[in-house]
Amino acid sequence: MGKTGGVLEAVPTTSVPNSAELKKELQRLVNAILDEEDFSLEITDEAIRLLTALKELKFEKSSDSLKLVDDTVLPDEFKCPISRKLMADPVVLATGQTYDRPSILQWLSTGHQTCPRTQQVLSHTVLTPNHLVREIITRWCKKHGLELPKPFGYSDDNFVAYADGDHLNSLLEKMCSSLSDQKEAARELRLLTRTMPSVRALFGESSDAIPKLLCPLSLGRVDSHADLQEDLITTILNLSIHDNNKQLVAENPLAIPLLIESLKSGTIETRSNAAAALFTLSGPDSNKISIGKAGALKPLIDLLEEGHTLAMKDAASAIFNLCIILENKGRAVHEGAVRVILKKIMDGILVDELLAILAMLATHQKAVEDMKELGAVGCLLSIIREGPSERNKENCAAILYTICLNDRTTCREIRDEENANHTISKLAENGTSRARRKANGILERLDRAALLLHTA
């Protein structure tokens, strides 16, 4: 193989080489690198130059295929209004206009808050895939024997160019601006954190993101602007879904108190979402403790008692999660949870959820006393006798077993039920394994109480 000054003769620059020529010359260079133990750096540089040239040729060929046949042949509605090229990933902006995703992402990432075509200010910057346009473009390309351009890999789940740190910071900066800016930014943050996990994750990368978000809210007048409060509390709920944010939110000195205050005032959606946020944040045991100490259980119980359909289930879920910790059981019982829960169960409301909470609270002595005074035994026996849910019967048996251990007079009421309907005996035969254990425990307790009565 001949060399010129230690470097293989390059492809002449007077003519544009084609792909075959570039590959042939590249092969020569590769062979020279493999054959020579002490090859020169110039050879590797030339090989890199040829690889780059091949890459550019390939890219140009791919780009040419996207030109279709002639720009006049390509229907105008298939072109992105920004790039004027065939849309590979059409998405709909808040104004209803369709753009190619990479082009509109680039537009938004530079700080624009308007629609490029209509110049309308955007109410939000969530992008919705336009599946219909994509399908039409696909059919059109197939009809003309052309390859459909592939999307560039952007997705709402793993890439948000317009919601990078700079964009997020620009929204958070508005939280300390005018009321109109606060409301606009809060609305967008609510939408972004609801639909895009990547935005939720970005909050964890900044220690001042949560303080900035909560800047418009203050204790004592959290509901001064109900719509703003609703958007910000809902954003906290959305953020709390991300595991890495649970501690971040809970450790902020304002977040939990603001959520607790929002349980008491604001729109019903705000109050419900505050309860849901406390439920989600209460995953880690350390958060259960801090939320309980902050006084969340009383307003959660009050929200449950008020009976708003939208809020009751969220409140019940939060109470259940918090009461996994022993000290929170005591707080809930002393705040009147047993009375509220029993009333709802007797009214046939959220029976499944509330029986699970009552079974948890039954390990607390005062809860047992409250249940006895409030007539819980008859209610629980009727659920075992008539209810369709095996899980509910199981929880009722567990509660009754605990009550039997603590109160002899209760045994007489259960014995009367047993004599009349064999309710506990039937459960001992046909219930779930846990229900059978508890039912047999109750029967043993009844026998022991009868023996003591007889010997007395």
Instruction: Note whether 115 and 97 are within 8 A (CB).
Output: yes
Give the pLDDT confidence score for residue 150 in this predicted structure.
66
Supply the pTM of this predicted model. Answer: 0.68
Please tell me the distance from the alpha carbon of residue 423 to that of residue 153, in angstroms, as a whole number. Answer: 62
Give the pLDDT confidence score for residue 108 in this predicted structure.
79
- pLDDT tens per residue across all 456 residues of the chain: 433 333 333 333 334 456 677 777 777 777 777 666 666 667 776 777 777 776 666 655 544 444 444 444 788 888 999 988 889 889 899 899 999 988 888 787 777 788 999 999 888 777 788 888 988 988 888 888 777 766 654 444 444 444 456 678 888 999 999 999 999 999 989 988 887 777 888 898 888 999 999 999 999 999 999 999 999 999 999 999 999 899 999 999 999 999 999 999 999 999 999 999 999 999 999 999 999 999 999 999 999 999 999 899 999 999 999 999 999 999 999 999 999 999 999 999 999 999 999 999 999 999 999 999 999 999 999 999 999 999 999 999 999 999 988 777 888 899 999 999 999 999 999 999 999 999 999 999 998 877 766 554
Please tell me the distance from the alpha carbon of residue 195 to that of residue 298, in angstroms, as a whole number. Answer: 32
375: enclosing H helix or E strand: none
Computed from CA positions of residues 112, 115, 118, 122, in that sequence, does the dihedral angle turn out positive or negative? negative
**What tokens does 259 get?**
């959520």
Give the pLDDT confidence score for residue 146 in this predicted structure.
79
In order of 251, 261, 316, 323, the CA distances from 327 in angstroms are 20, 22, 18, 8
Which amino acid type is present at position 38?
A: D
Give the pLDDT confidence score for residue 181 in this predicted structure.
93
Q: What are 89's strand-pairing partners?
A: none
DSSP string covering 305-357 = HHT-HHHHHHHHHHHHHHTTSHHHHHHHHHTTHHHHHHHHHHTTSSHHHHHHH
Give the pLDDT confidence score for residue 48 in this predicted structure.
73
Please tell me the distance from the alpha carbon of residue 70 to that of residue 73, in angstroms, as a whole number. Answer: 5
Q: Return the residue matching tokens 């939990």.
A: 256
**What tokens does 219 get?**
């204790």
**What tokens does 443 get?**
């029967």
Return the SS3 of 76. helix
